[in-house]
């Protein structure tokens, strides 16, 4: 079994070197890893110093692109009668125009969202990273959108089957998107690889997500000030989980 957790080094020079340990696809599929919630959160917390600016600048870039884009798409679709006008030629009882607007936005937001995930992974492995790298994954947009569509359909079916299968799939498919980018997998391969690997320690991953949700709630209480630290920590935490299960292959990154 691989060493799945390495405490932050006290040696500054060593701590700045890329981390090449962790898991692998084979180890992840075999369940040869451990989800130690305390150790993972401790490592993520230790890595937020110097990372907050990078993360928040990336979030700012994301908002600068996505918010005006959403407004522009809805404005254009409303002008041509697809959304916003009940008598428009394309209006439907189920607001198909709203679905079209969401689909168009997804082709822009998904590569950037994947970029945010990869930013967390890179920070977790101490690889060089810049905020603008969230724009680097548009060449994989078709695979990312395909993964999202499959994720949505399968999770929706799961929720229709007495809810619990949907909750299971929401957690189990959680690492599919970085697998598309970092391991160059197809949508179905990424979803199934994520599901099969996480299923070995599903309750541990679920427990970690619950703890993150509680921490996020607490961070929001004092006027949201705690989010300055909590959002970078959340991204890095997910990066540590990904590295622990699947490892890191720097050559596949931009």
Residue 178 is assigned to a structural domain of this protein: yes
For residue 78, the model assigns a pLDDT of 76
Residue 59 reports pLDDT greater than 80: yes
The answer as to whether 3 is a domain residue is: no
- Domain holding 110, by residue range, is 12-252
H-state helical runs in the chain: 12-15, 25-30, 37-46, 52-79, 96-124, 141-160, 164-172, 176-182, 187-199, 202-220, 227-246
Lowest-pLDDT range of 57-66, 67-76, 176-185, 220-229:
67-76
What is the rounded CA–CA span in Å between residue 19 and residue 6? 9
Predicted local distance difference test score (pLDDT) of residue 162: 84
Q: What is the pLDDT of residues 86-108, one digit of tens each?
A: 444 444 434 555 677 778 888 99
Q: Is residue 2 part of a domain?
A: no
Cβ atoms of 191 and 171 within 8 Å: the answer is no
Q: What angle do CA 113, 20, 24 make, to 5 degrees?
A: 70
User: From the CB of residue 5, how many other CB atoms can be counted at a distance below 10 Å?
Assistant: 18
Please give the pLDDT value at position 14. Answer: 39
Q: Which residue, among 94, 147, 127, has the nearest Cα to 15 in the 3D structure?
A: 127
Total count of domains within the chain: 1
The per-residue pLDDT of the chain, averaged, comes to: 84
Asked whether residue 6 is assigned to any structural domain, the reply reads no
Crossing angle of helices 164-172 and 141-160, in 10° steps, is 160
Are 11 and 199 in contact by the 8 Å Cβ rule? The answer is no
CA–CA separation, 192 and 204 (whole Å): 19
> What number is the average pLDDT over the span 207-234?
94
Element (H, E) at 126: none
Would 1 be classed as within a structural domain?
A: no
Contacts of 101 (CB under 8 A, 6+ apart): 70, 73, 74, 77, 82, 83
Q: Is residue 123 domain-resident?
A: yes
Specify the higher pLDDT residue, 235 or 8. 235
Tally of residues, the chain = 254
Residue 36 in domain: yes
Residue 63, class by beta-carbon neighbours within 10 Å (0-12 exposed, 13-18 middle, 19+ buried)?
exposed
pLDDT in tens, 138-196: 999 999 999 999 999 999 999 998 889 999 999 999 999 999 999 999 999 999 999 99
At residue 12, the pLDDT reads 34
Neighbours of 98 (CB within 10 A): 15
> In angstroms, what is the C-alpha Rg of the chain?
19
Q: Which residues of 208-221 are buried (b: 16+ CB within 10 A; e: fewer)?
A: bbeebeebeeebee
Share of the chain above pLDDT 90, in %: 67
Which position has the token pair 């961070």?
A: 219
Query: Is the residue at 148 inside a domain?
Result: yes
pTM beyond 0.85? no
With 80 as the cut, is the pLDDT of residue 62 above it? yes
């Amino acid at each position: 079994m691989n060493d799945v957790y390495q405490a932050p080094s006290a040696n500054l020079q060593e701590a700045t070197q890329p981390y090449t340990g962790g898991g692998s696809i084979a180890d992840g599929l075999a369940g040869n890893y451990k989800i130690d919630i305390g150790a993972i959160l401790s490592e993520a917390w230790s890595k937020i110093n110097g990372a907050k600016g990078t993360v928040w600048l990336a979030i700012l870039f994301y908002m600068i692109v996505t918010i005006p884009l959403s407004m522009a798409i809805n404005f254009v679709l409303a002008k041509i009668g697809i959304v916003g006008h009940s008598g428009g030629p394309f209006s439907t009882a189920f607001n198909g125009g709203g679905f079209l607007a969401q689909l168009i936005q997804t082709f822009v937001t998904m590569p950037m969202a994947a970029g945010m995930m990869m930013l967390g992974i890179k920070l977790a492995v101490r690889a060089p990273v810049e905020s603008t790298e969230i724009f680097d994954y548009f060449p994989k947009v078709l695979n990312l959108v395909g993964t999202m569509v499959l994720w949505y359909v399968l999770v929706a079916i799961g929720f229709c089957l007495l809810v619990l299968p949907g909750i299971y799939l929401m957690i189990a498919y959680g690492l599919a998107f970085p697998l598309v980018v970092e391991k160059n997998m197809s949508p179905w391969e990424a979803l199934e690889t994520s599901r099969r690997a996480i299923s070995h320690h599903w309750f541990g991953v679920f427990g970690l997500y619950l703890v993150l949700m509680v921490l996020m709630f607490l961070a929001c209480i004092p006027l949201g000030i705690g989010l300055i630290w909590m959002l970078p920590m959340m991204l890095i935490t997910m990066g540590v989980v990904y590295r622990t299960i699947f490892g890191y292959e720097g050559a596949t990154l931009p």
